[in-house]
Amino acid sequence: MATKLSFDLLKKQINNGEVDTVLVCLVDMQGRLMGKRLEAHYFADSAYQETHCCNYLLATDLEMATPEGYASTGWDAGYGDYVMKPDLETLRPVPWLEGTVMVLCDVLDHDTHLPVPHSPRAILKAQIERLAALGYDAIMATELEFFVFEKSFDEITKGGFCDLTPISSYNEDYHIFQTTKEEHVMRPIRNHLYAAGIPVEGTKGEAEAGQEELNIKYDAPLNCADHHSIAKHAVKEISWQQGHAVTFLPKWHKDRVGSSSHIHQSLWKDGKSAFYDKHAAHGMSQVLCQYMAGLIKYAPDVTYLLAPYVNSYKRFQKGTFAPTGTVWSIDNRTAGFRLCGEGSTAIRVECRIGGSDLNPYLAMAAQLAAGLAGIEEQLELPAPLQGDAYAATNAEQLPSNLRDAMLIFNKSSMMRSALGDAVVDHYYRCAQWEQEEFDKVVTDYEIARGFERA
């Protein structure tokens, strides 16, 4: 696999003309890459130390609107600058763009040069530091599911998002023949990401027409989140280059299966799995049991960070492989939390709640915070659910809409303790704005249902 670039190698590539452009990127609240294209010599001469951006980039919505109500910035403060501090450990080629490399940045306060606490990378780093203080490392992996469409982004946008035809006409779960038809999109995605130093394992057809899944090898949490964000960005760009649109919207059609982003997680100590105990039932150590109990207890508190938009909650439906309850089970895809690798050193927890629209830094930080709370509180894990979790009558239900999820998140003492009041307040305002904007909309459903009959 192509390794990440060293700064010295980058300077050589710039001097011999191989590289002329550096993408200098931060990760915004929505998990997207934002930033600048810098002339490569300028980056190598000085901008590798820092550059600047408007601080509204961590206080906007999907449309780049500037909602009021954020304590960190606003019109009354004049929307000043943040410092973008390149993390040179993240330097990598961008093989699908000619002469281009990429670097991710940490976001710093312009005056103090301290990390901006509500920036997604800083939020995840804070939970990693909490783990380290207890002697633990985490290993995590995320799955990326998405739909590929016949038409391009431009064609679909100009058509008012009405003619949404997937690239295939039938369920392609594990289907080799149908996914062969999509190789002009998926093959360059796999190969370009691999060449960019992203440890891609493979792709497969998912459980709906036109739905694909990209699998990336597990890694330390920050690396995992970086890989997720870069891969999601690359899927869009490479699909666009091939004339197709893709969507990470969790539920683009009421009759179609949704897209998820499952999070696999385990803790390690002194190079050994802290989740594995060969003498315990199912190989589950006490640490794992407490960690899992924390995930279950605090699942409602963190759901907003796993499902951040109004549409996110349309995915939580019975019989769709998207969970509705906060139960755990052994290798059972109907539960909110699935035990994988039972009885082996690969034992881990899969959280199945998150949708394809999640911000991986926030979602993973939330999982670590909930699991750590379980360890700190020495919570007791209930027995695993047997059978169909959708039919369980004693399972606490996940919030079924954004309004409920954001209220639980805002009132969560665990979240406020783990993330800090300012961070929770910031993302609560983000959730409020999403709900406020949706509440203004008159949908096609309302008009068709009531135009004549109401």
Which domains occur in the chain, in start order? Answer: 7-116 (3.10.20.70), 126-445 (3.30.590.10)
In whole angstroms, give the CA distance from residue 197 to residue 232. Answer: 14
Rounded mean pLDDT of 424-441?
A: 96
- pLDDT over 60 at 2, yes or no: no
48 with 7: CB under 8 angstroms? yes
Question: pLDDT confidence of 321, banded at 50, 70, 90?
Answer: confident
Contact 89, 7 (CB under 8 A): no
Average pLDDT over residues 165-190: 92
Q: What is the pLDDT of residue 145?
A: 96
Name the least confident of 48-57, 197-206, 208-217, 323-332: 323-332
Averaged pLDDT score across all residues of the chain: 94
Contacts of residue 54, defined as CB under 8 A and 6 or more positions apart, other chains included, come to 79, 80, 81, 82
Q: Where are the alpha helices (DSSP H) in 307-454?
A: 360-376, 402-411, 413-419, 421-439, 444-450
- Provide the pLDDT for residue 392: 78
Q: How sure is the predictor about 325, in pLDDT bands with cuts at 50, 70 and 90?
A: confident
* pLDDT tens, residue by residue, 370-412: 999 999 999 999 988 887 778 777 878 899 999 999 999 999 9
Q: Is residue 3 very low, low, confident or very high in pLDDT (cuts 50, 70, 90)?
A: low
User: What number is the average pLDDT over the span 136-156?
Assistant: 95
**Strand ranges (E), 299-363:** 328-330, 337-340, 348-351
pLDDT of 387 reads: 78
What's the whole-number mean pLDDT along residues 426-445?
95
The count of residues in the chain is 454
Q: What's the whole-number mean pLDDT along residues 48-55?
A: 94
Q: Where are the alpha helices (DSSP H) in 298-340?
A: 299-306
CA end-to-end distance (rounded Å), the chain: 61
According to DSSP, the residues that pair with 102 across neighbouring strands are: 23, 92
What is the percentage of the chain residues whose pLDDT exceeds 90?
A: 83
- Cα distances from 445 to residues 63, 78, 442, 449, in angstroms, run 23, 40, 8, 6
Torsional sign, CA 217, 221, 227, 228: positive
Query: Does the structure show a pLDDT above 80 at 319?
Result: no
